[in-house]
Structure 1
Amino acid sequence: MREDITQALPDAPTPAADKGERSKLYYFSIIALLILATEVVGFEFTFIYPAVGQIAAEFKTQQVAWALTILYLGGTAVVPVVGKLADIHGKKKMFVRCALCFLAGTLVCAVAPSFPVFMTGRALQASALPFFVLGYGLIRDLLPARLVPIGLGALATSTGISAILSTFLGGWLIDAHGFRATFWFLFGYMGVLLLAVIAFLPESPVRSPQRVDYKGALLLVLGCAVLLVSLGMKGVTLVAALLISVGLLVAFYQSQKRIAAPLIDPSILTRPAFFLTLATTGSLTVAWAGYGFLFPQLLMAPHGATGYGFGLSAVQLALWHGLPMGLGTMACGMLGGWLARRSGPRVVLILGALLLVAACLMVAFVAPTTDSAWVFRLMSFTDGAAAGFFQAGTQNIIVETVPAERQGISGSMNFMVQSLGGSLATAGLTAVLLKYPLGAGKAGQFLFTWEGYRTVFLIAAACAVLSLVISLARRDGRTPASGGLVSGAH
């Protein structure tokens, strides 16, 4: 039965639509500012993809994948804590605090003399990962319900915009000035956007007074960290690490059942719609993050030494990969929001999973058989389109499932699963790829056999297939998205 959130939950805040709407220009200005502000999340990932070779050579390490993994790992701890604090103190206020921490981390990365110092800066940069959770929450809190599905889809397009800008701008900066120049750009960009957020972004009126479980956050991040480190282990050490990880994560879950204000709310997890959404997010993110990290490496590998690469520069990579991927994300993020409002978010998730399966299989079986640029651009466009549908469908399902005053914690739980999936993708798939070494290129870039790349992309495809099966099986999300007017309907 469909029921208004204010009827289902007497203590819930009054929706924005009931307070008297303002002009569409006002609401679209909020969306535009949030898109610009959340761009930095995409930048801190996509700037690294074409710079992997330079970073590995600069710091003389084969563990450069951890420059991405540590962001995801940081997200598992930072995002739920920030989401909880946002529900208590306000989403804009936490946005500002996270931005300041991000600026500090970016400065450390720009001047880092060693890989450990660089990784410290990257860990601080993880403070930007809650931006999407805060942005989605602000859209729900500030926009009329009828505009929420479109707003969520529009915010999902920011990953596409950053993919386009970062590969061209980042490619030029990396080729002309080295990878450190990208961090100086990020420092200036975030500084300007922080001033704009302080001056123009309204604060959310939604509050949910409660305590923050810092002990639980520590158990969670330690459990995830040990799990990720274990991916590079063997034998007895591997078994011991896995047992420690499972013990920490079980202790974390048990602690959440005993406290009044948990980081992960077991009562939300009992909702089939939300639990299935987390399962879809986890499996899709492994495939999506693995594709995003490994595909640029494949294209930038020298053809003469590998038999499959093209030796692309960072700017050329933008034309082959970043531009088509970004266009796909932008187009299908907006389209996904419209489809969710018209036909329900389930169909949007199905489309995203189908396209991601296709993208991974194309790389695994078609990439070594052709040198046509348009084929690789099609692969990247397909991957971007999958990402747009995935983000739009996921966020609309969460809004339909969870009440407004619990949006912060629910969005944090979803993003935490996304962070863990990304961690497993970059650390786990890289561990698999390292089993297929080919040597080192002239610039110090580590090379791998084609068999290794095919293996990791088939693993990514299998994860995308799992998300497709879950999306097809779920019974919820079949009715048009209401923008949060329907809550707890499943």
Structure 2
Amino acid sequence: MPRGPAGVNVRAAVAVLAFSGILSALMQTLVIPLVSDLPRLLNTTPDNASWVITSTLLAAAVTTPISGRLGDMFGKRRILVLCIVLLIAGSVVCALTASLPIVIVGRALQGAATSVIPLGISILRDELPPERVASAIALISATLGVGASVGLPVSALVAQNFDWHIMFWFAAVIGAVALVLVLVVVPESPVRSPGRFDVVGAIGLTVGLVSLLLALTKGASWGWTSGRVITLLAVAVVVLVSWVWFETRVAEPMVDIRVTASRPVLLTNLASIMTGFAMYAIALVLPQLLQLPKSTGFGLGQSMVVAGLVLAPSGLVMMFLSPVAARITNTYGPRTTLLSGLVIIMVSYLAGTVLMTQIWQLVIISCVNGAGVGLAFASLPALIMRVVPVHETGVANGLNALMRSVGTSLASATMSLVLTTLSLPSFRLAFGIGAGAAVAAMALAVFIPARARTGTAEPVSLASR
């Protein structure tokens, strides 16, 4: 069994972090099969029930960069363990109640688990031999798609045949297994960024992000011109601009704006927004197309379980292609990997504009899209970590993950508008917009420097300390 510089069991550590990543991604799709039933199950209105999903999104967005910074300061494995503990606690809370406020709290706790993936990538960068980093990052990045796509049909099957609380008990048990494995197998990174935690910066980022994402996720139901949405967007702009100003002047910022604003990092993060958009749009379009009644003339009249099974192979494609992504990155650089993935994503959307009449066609589109997303997501952490200082990898990866979340929120808001009529032209427009997002990401990616700066971000091994 290969071992890292300090006797780290490489395969075991990567496998455990990949398993934990799949678990964290599963939290994003866990309740999707229940969306239509949540008002009845929780004795509330559809708008109130939507907070069961919104709370997870907001918690994930807020905790990801903050967890990254805490990981850089106090130990990445320590914060990763804390995130899994919060996931278990949230799962148990949801499993024990049918009260809407308590379920929302539990789902918010589950959202904290999203930080597991960027923290895991940062641990691998610190601990693995340089030649193993690219393949490990590609595999961990793929878990985002694997957990989301495989979890959907499993959750749908449980929701249709068993009590809905079982899903949360299952998540709690799997979380406990992941917790034990991480404690036993995954080493703590000795890389630290000591200093004082930027409380004001964390609060400012939280307020700005919550305002922005809440406006994006609730805009369709509240009305894009409503006072609440306009106020939230205004607050987001004012707070985030003020936050950037403050972070450039504080001695120990939560996010190093100078590094974040550098050309390689800034362009990668902007490309990540559009990549997240292109990844999530298809997950919103295909299930609706599959479940619309055949009487519409283009709907396929399938159940949620079938819709989940159509999406499931794409996650497996992402995982199987992780060695390919690593090989492209090692040979030609991560920018080439990103561009290759974006081209494939674009092709999948263009194919979707004409291939939407048979289930097998949508399976192919989903798999092709998954292949592109797998390559693109594998490249993003590599692009970030080759230029940021080694003691800032946690917060840098967390911020990059946040940018992908912003992209998924934009996709959700856009597709809600486009698919209002649920007509054939609207679905074709949705596929066209997805292709446009991939093209926009490519336009940004071509300006990312092909080579990293030297001397700032070489992988650090324990043997050199």
Matching residue within 316, 319, 342 for 1:353: 342
Counterpart of 1:412 in structure 2 is 398
- The question of 1:54 aligning with 2:37 is answered yes
Q: How far apart are residue 234 of structure 1 and its match?
A: 4.0
Opposite residue 41 of structure 1, the aligned amino acid is: S
Q: How far apart are residue 93 of structure 1 and its match?
A: 0.8
Counterpart of 1:269 in structure 2 is 260
Query: Number of residues paired by the alignment?
Result: 448
Counterpart of 1:439 in structure 2 is none
- The question of 1:30 aligning with 2:13 is answered yes
Cα distance in 2 for partners of 1:430, 1:120 equals 27
Residue by residue, what CA displacement relative to the aligned partner does 1:182-237 show, whole Å, maximum 9, x if unpaired? 22211110011111212222111111102222322222222233233434234472
Q: How far apart are residue 332 of structure 1 and its match?
A: 2.4
Opposite residue 396 of structure 2, the aligned amino acid is: S
On the 8 A contact 1:157/1:330 being kept in 2, the answer is yes
User: Structure 1's 413 and 365: CA in aligned 2 closer, same or farther, altered over 3 A?
Assistant: same
SS of residue matched to 2:193: coil
Identity %: 27
Counterpart of 1:40 in structure 2 is 23
Q: How far apart are residue 161 of structure 1 and its match?
A: 3.8
Residue by residue, what CA displacement relative to the aligned partner does 1:230-281 show, whole Å, maximum 9, x if unpaired? 3423447254443222111111111111212222211212321111110110
Q: How far apart are residue 163 of structure 1 and its match?
A: 4.5
Counterpart of 2:367 in structure 1 is 381
On the 8 A contact 2:284/2:415 being kept in 1, the answer is no
TM alignment of 1:246-325, pairs within 5 A = 246-304=237-295, 306-322=296-312, 324-325=313-314
TM alignment of 1:189-200, pairs within 5 A = 189-200=174-185
Q: How far apart are residue 404 of structure 1 and its match?
A: 1.4
On the 8 A contact 1:150/1:334 being kept in 2, the answer is yes
Q: How far apart are residue 466 of structure 1 and its match?
A: 0.5
Residue by residue, what CA displacement relative to the aligned partner does 1:346-380 show, whole Å, maximum 9, x if unpaired? 1110111112222233334432xx22x22111111
Counterpart of 1:463 in structure 2 is 437
On the 8 A contact 1:65/1:430 being kept in 2, the answer is no
Counterpart of 1:342 in structure 2 is 331
On the 8 A contact 2:267/2:448 being kept in 1, the answer is yes
- The question of 1:183 aligning with 2:168 is answered yes
Opposite residue 195 of structure 1, the aligned amino acid is: V
- The question of 1:121 aligning with 2:106 is answered yes
Cα distance in 1 for partners of 2:132, 2:247 equals 34
C-alpha RMSD over aligned residues: 2.7
User: Structure 1's 362 and 22: CA in aligned 2 closer, same or farther, altered over 3 A?
Assistant: same
Residue by residue, what CA displacement relative to the aligned partner does 1:315-371 show, whole Å, maximum 9, x if unpaired? 32343221x21222112222111210111111110111112222233334432xx22
User: Structure 1's 66 and 299: CA in aligned 2 closer, same or farther, altered over 3 A?
Assistant: farther
The more displaced of 310-319 and 197-206 is 310-319
Q: How far apart are residue 417 of structure 1 and its match?
A: 1.4
Alignment TM-score, normalising by the size of structure 2 = 0.88
Q: How far apart are residue 423 of structure 1 and its match?
A: 2.4
Cα distance in 2 for partners of 1:230, 1:78 equals 18
Residue by residue, what CA displacement relative to the aligned partner does 1:283-304 show, whole Å, maximum 9, x if unpaired? 1112212322342233223323
On the 8 A contact 2:286/2:362 being kept in 1, the answer is no
TM alignment of 1:228-243, pairs within 5 A = 228-231=213-216, 232=219, 233-235=223-225, 237=227, 238-243=229-234
- The question of 1:397 aligning with 2:380 is answered no
Opposite residue 376 of structure 2, the aligned amino acid is: F
Opposite residue 53 of structure 1, the aligned amino acid is: S
Cα distance in 1 for partners of 2:363, 2:78 equals 40
Cα distance in 2 for partners of 1:185, 1:172 equals 13
Alignment TM-score, normalising by the size of structure 1 = 0.84
The structure, 1 or 2, with the larger RCO (C-alpha pairs under 8 Å, 6+ apart) is 1
Cα distance in 1 for partners of 2:282, 2:410 equals 12
SS of residue matched to 1:311: coil
On the 8 A contact 2:93/2:106 being kept in 1, the answer is yes
SS of residue matched to 1:473: coil
Cα distance in 2 for partners of 1:219, 1:311 equals 46
Opposite residue 378 of structure 2, the aligned amino acid is: A
Cα distance in 1 for partners of 2:294, 2:166 equals 28
